[in-house]
Chains A and B, each alone.
Chain A
Amino acid sequence: MCLGIPAKILRIDGDFAEANINGATIKVGVQLLDRVQINDYVLIHTGYALEKLSEEDALETIKTLQELEQFNKESILPEE
């Protein structure tokens, strides 16, 4: 499954930017977007920012992803 992940732009340097995903800083291409600013939320896929996201949407998606991660980690057996 192809999944875009929301990230927050930290620094911009021409066609590339540094973005924060879940605490990690990665380098992403921002050529595909018209105007990107520091603190913008963007959707990253295969190293490129594909679209801008509202902060609200971004945070909700991040929360869902975290829930999914938690779900995958947790035991299916009820706690004793």
Chain B
Amino acid sequence: MNQRASSESKSLSYLFHIKGRVQGVGFRPFVYSLANALGLTGYVFNRPDGVIAQIEGDEKKCHAFMKKLKKEAPPAANIKQVAMEPTELKHFNEFTIIPSRQSERIITEISPDIAICTDCLRELFSENRRDHYPFINCTNCGPRFTLVHDFPYDRSNTTMNGFVLCIRCQSEFDDPLNRRFHAQPISCPDCGPVYEFYKGKTRTTDFDEIIKTAGKNMNDGMVVAMKGLGGYNLACDACNEKAVEELRRFKRREKKPFAVMFRSMENLKKVCLISTREEKILSSWRRPIVVLDHIKEGAVAKSITAGLDSIGAFLPYLPLHHLLFEQLQTNAIVLTSGNASDIPILYQEEKALETFKEISGGILINNRKIARRADDSVVKVIDNKPRIMRRARGYAPEPVDLDFDVSGILATGAELSNCFCIGKEHQAILSQHIGDLKNMETYSFFCENIAEFSRLYRFKASKIVCDLHPDYLSSQYAQETKLPLIQVQHHHAHVAAVMAEYNLTEPVIGISYDGVGYGSDGHIWGSEVMVADYSQFRRISHFEYVPLPGGDIATKQPWRSALSYLYHTFGKDYKKMNIPFLSSIDSKKAEKLIEAIDHKINSPLCCSAGRLFDAVAALLCLCIESNYHAEAPLQLENYLADTTNETYSFSGSTQISFTEMFHEVIADIEENKAPDLIVTRFHNTIVQVALHQVKLANKDSGIKKVVISGGTFQNKYLTEKLVPLLRQLQYKVFYPQEVPCNDGGIALGQLAVAANKKM
């Protein structure tokens, strides 16, 4: 210490190798500015495997550099590893950015799209040449994934390739100290893309006029179609019931709740209670839709939430959204993908002009092409952790880093909420959310997107992995490739996906509760507790099998599951019960269903948790027929009131029977007990069942690591009750965060299993 105090501290030199998502996110300019601010010399450049930098200068300042490198990195950067070593002094005169040679610019990570940053937002509403310019962006923000045609990430390989930079933009692009240094998608009103507005036969090209008309039309209760980041959106005033009605009609989406974009965090806070964590995610650069527990009654049009207390909320992420809000009286708009329900988001001009010609408020298009679709992502905070439910804009195509090699493996995923996955060395690259493959349009999106990812990532599949379900279109796709094929049981894939996210290599206890998944015994599974590693699994416990009359149709008609459980529990005596459920359904039709069960007509055996939730929701008349995917469990969740710890009874171990529970539920219904009490008791029961199953698996295997997955665990209450109970018993609990716990995560699990299986 004395030495340093007495003399000038000595000069040092360090070499850095920074890995992770450090390209295309403004990392080199950041390093440049940081070094300059500290008076350090040296250089920085991009290499295929990351960023290399050498710094030289005063010891203390070198240390400050190390500290700030991680702490102050650009928001969209994701530093995974910093390797640093002292090196010889080279006595540089200044700090420079060394241009990358073409061959060195092949980057392996494409950044997700980034919401408008605070600097650009300030510029958007202040006097400068990009004042009110809807395509404003910089190194820290703007489109990426939806803009990139090819590697390396250069303007010529983006859909901005047709727009030549004007002199002023070019000088910003070339200036290392400018925040637009090497920002590939930049432009200005002089050189960039433009918006056009169509309504009937009128066409408007002046942006000022366009945004004013669009705003006015929305203020007047009309619906406007507009080109967004990853596709076309439809927008209307979220407080105007009539406008929402038009939207529902157009989308042929009768009941499913809509997400709502709020003008600002301040406005959102007025109508929703938001945790610190939720606030952070809502305003992050990823800017996903966040599912919030409770929205104040009357805050938005009633039909938006379709009877639920919760709401999917998000904040403006495009300059266009901010410019639109400036024209709007309302503080909340519905902003939804521009397509009929369940088909992929529309992203091409010709189709958009045709499809939206009937839309009352007109169409906003622009001539910046969308390279590929991306829907809005959906996140839910559970156990105070962000859990992704739909992975698209702002998240895709972020890879999952693995401890093992997955090169050449293509995982085709599930069928509903499909998402596929390709393997590149030690990284799993998941596609953006694709959707339900049963729709022809979605299936072609799936096929095209696999081809597109293969081209983009220079990927050639040598092995293919799919679900065990023979009828999944994703399984049939896999079979048709004629590549070496591995089939993975659905729930094993759910568990393996979580193992992959946390790089767990030793066997775990896996809980997987979901709607339906094809079991190794040919029955329908979905209440699995297993002991598993990547290569195999052993089924330890599941719910008792009950016939599922109608098969897949039962997922849309929860009354079928209710009736099947009633018949299973009470036999023909169920008819004598005096409960509202039975008096509200057509008894003749009900009898036909019982006949089908008796004669085993299209009544596969099923033990899924999802159908049990359906049964309870229908019995309580909360959801007899489902209007959209998973409505029944959502309706149940809506009635949860954390007011009781009571449970219902169950029995069995390897096969859990709910006979006693249904006796007690019916008794409660007959005694007119409040539905929230019954619903809460039911959820508490499921928590106890899961705990019971885990203990059984632990007794069998001694394992203390528990993995929780499957769509059922999108249920916040269930997860937040179960996890602490497991932790109290010294279990180490893992649940998916970066990857959906629903079928959107299946592909990752398939990939991990395939990589670890000998063929």
Write the residues of chain A forming the contact surface with B, with a CB cutoff of 8 angstroms.
1, 71-72, 74-78
Contacts and interface: CB of A to CB of B under 8 A. Distances in A.
Q: Do most interface residues of chain B lie in helix, strand or loop, or is the interface mixed? A: loop
A72 B586 contact: no
B625 interface: yes
Contacts of A77: 584-586, 624-625
A38 B162 CA distance: 61
Given A1-B602, A71-B592, A76 B625 contact: yes
Nearest to B589: A76
A45 to B, nearest CB: 15
B550 A75 contact: no
A60 to B, nearest CB: 16
5 contacts: A1-B602, A76-B559, A76-B585, A77-B624, A78-B584
Given A1-B601, A1-B602, A76 B590 contact: yes
B550 A76 contact: no
A71 B557 CA distance: 12
B118 to A, nearest CB: 52
A72 B624 contact: no
B586 A78 contact: yes
A11 to B, nearest CB: 28
A74 B585 CA distance: 12
Given A1-B601, A76-B586, A76-B589, 5 more contacts: A1-B551, A1-B604, A71-B589, A76-B585, A78-B584
Shortest 3 CB-CB contacts between residues of A and residues of B:
A76-B585, A76-B559, A1-B602
A76 B604 CA distance: 21
B121 to A, nearest CB: 49
A76 B551 CA distance: 16
Contacts of B585: 76-78
Contacts of B586: 76-78
B282 to A, nearest CB: 39
A75 B625 CA distance: 8
B553 interface: yes
A56 B289 CA distance: 57
Contacts of A71: 589, 592
A77 B604 CA distance: 24
A74 B725 CA distance: 44
A74 B592 CA distance: 13
A53 B690 CA distance: 51
Contacts of A78: 584-586
A52 B599 CA distance: 25
B594 to A, nearest CB: 13
Interface in B593-615: 601-602, 604
Interface string B573-584: 000000000001
A8 to B, nearest CB: 24
Contacts of B551: 1
A74 B590 CA distance: 12
Contacts of A72: 550, 553
A76 B585 CA distance: 5
A75 to B, nearest CB: 6
B269 to A, nearest CB: 40
Contacts of B601: 1
A72 B592 CA distance: 11
Contacts of B624: 76-77
Interface in B249-294: none
A22 B585 CA distance: 30
A76 B586 CA distance: 6
Contacts of A1: 551, 601-602, 604
Nearest to B618: A76
B277 to A, nearest CB: 41
Interface string B542-553: 000000001101
A76 to B, nearest CB: 5
A27 to B, nearest CB: 19
Contacts of A74: 589
A51 B584 CA distance: 43
A70 to B, nearest CB: 11
A20 B245 CA distance: 41
Interface string B214-234: 000000000000000000000
Interface string B603-643: 01000000000000000000011000000000000000000
B322 to A, nearest CB: 45
Interface in B288-315: none
